[in-house]
Amino acid sequence: MIISNLNSSIPAPDGIDRKVTERMSFLNTVADHVPVILVNEETMDRICPPGIGYDAHCVRELLSQYYQEKKLADAKDYPGKPEETERIWDRIVEKCRHVVFSAIGVYTENIPPVLLGIDLKDTGIGKKNSETIWETIENNSRKVVYLCPERVMEEALEISKKPQNPFDDIFLYIIFHEYTHAFITKGTNLKKYESVIEESLAAAVAYQRFSTSSEIYNISRFLSNDKLPAEYRSFTFWTEISRALPLIAIVDKWKRGDLAFSVVGMDFDDFLISSDLFLEYGFAHFRRFNDSKGEESMLENLAIRVLMHA
């Protein structure tokens, strides 16, 4: 893998390339052709302006109100019809999509034009090194992960007054999260429910790269931060499912665009036995949508269920 520092005041952790390589799994094809470029906060905001995500507390409150309105005993009966799915999803987007957040990392398939206007003398690494970075980007088809170490450090300091360990873990997490987007390659023009599904999937893939108790503690603390939008915190939806269906299979189906209909077409008897998630949320009801509403309704329903886990 390639890591280059454009203008961040904080370097990459020592041995980060080795740690990434050791945990790559199916993402190894991405690391070979997607460089990681470190940038400061100002540059990151130019590449990826602050976004808007979902408020987990708002989603839970809204769905609780919905259950009360419909006198539903639990989520197994939700929603009864495809049109109900569309109605509640529209309400979630209208009422709960208001969490403003600044990107720590982002995957892009094009050089952001604003970066081309940066004075190479002001990057802090000299014109020659800056030009080497641009050459690296061009040689890799302009597919790049941009990462802001300053924002990683902010998150690490919230976890520990001695932030080095959480810094290293969060740094790794961001790389794996963005590598997952690069692996999926659906682009940035996702519909709102598609974005919820993909961000939560990327979070789950990145989370599963960690195994020690200290790493899991640091990443769990990072992902439980109320400042994070619900779609990033709801990775547990997929980690629960992965007890019955490997995460790589789910990601691959999402990449190919047949996740919803694969879910509908599956025989869930084994999953219902082996996964508490399916027992709790009754995924078998997707079969009812196969002929009546189609893929969009199923994906909206899936996005709602993802957000319920934030």
CA distance 54 to 198: 14
Mean pLDDT of 125-142: 65
Q: How confident is the model at residue 264 (pLDDT cuts 50, 70, 90)?
A: very low
Average pLDDT of the chain to the nearest whole number: 80
Is 271's pLDDT higher than 50?
Answer: no
Mean pLDDT of 139-161: 89
More confident residue, 124 or 154: 154
Chain Cα centroid distance, residue 90: 21
Mean pLDDT of 212-232: 93
Q: Which residue has the tokens 């709790």?
A: 280
Q: What is the CATH number of domain 1-50+102-185?
A: 3.40.390
Give φ, ψ of 209 to 5 degrees. Answer: -80, -5
CA distance 127 to 122: 9
- 65, 34 in Cβ contact below 8 A? no
State percent of the chain over pLDDT 70: 74
Q: How confident is the model at residue 201 (pLDDT cuts 50, 70, 90)?
A: very high
Q: Is 119 exposed, middle or buried (0-12, 13-18, 19+ CB in 10 A)?
A: exposed
Task: Give me the pLDDT at residue 291, please.
Answer: 46
Give φ, ψ of 38 to 5 degrees. Answer: -85, 130
| DSSP at 13 | P
For residue 107, list its beta bridge partners. 145
More confident residue, 150 or 62: 150
Task: Give me the pLDDT at residue 112, please.
Answer: 61
Chain Cα centroid distance, residue 196: 8
Mean pLDDT of 183-212: 91
Task: Give me the pLDDT at residue 273, please.
Answer: 36
Domain with CATH 3.40.390 in the chain: 1-50+102-185
Task: Give me the pLDDT at residue 28, please.
Answer: 87
Q: How confident is the model at residue 253 (pLDDT cuts 50, 70, 90)?
A: confident
pTM score, two decimals? 0.84
CA distance 47 to 21: 26
For residue 54, list its beta bridge partners. 97
Task: Give me the pLDDT at residue 82, please.
Answer: 63
What tens digit of pLDDT does each residue of 280-293 get? 334 444 445 444 45
More confident residue, 115 or 10: 10
Q: How confident is the model at residue 219 (pLDDT cuts 50, 70, 90)?
A: very high
What tens digit of pLDDT does each residue of 60-107 get? 899 888 777 766 544 444 444 567 778 889 999 999 999 999 999 999
CA distance between the termini of the chain: 32
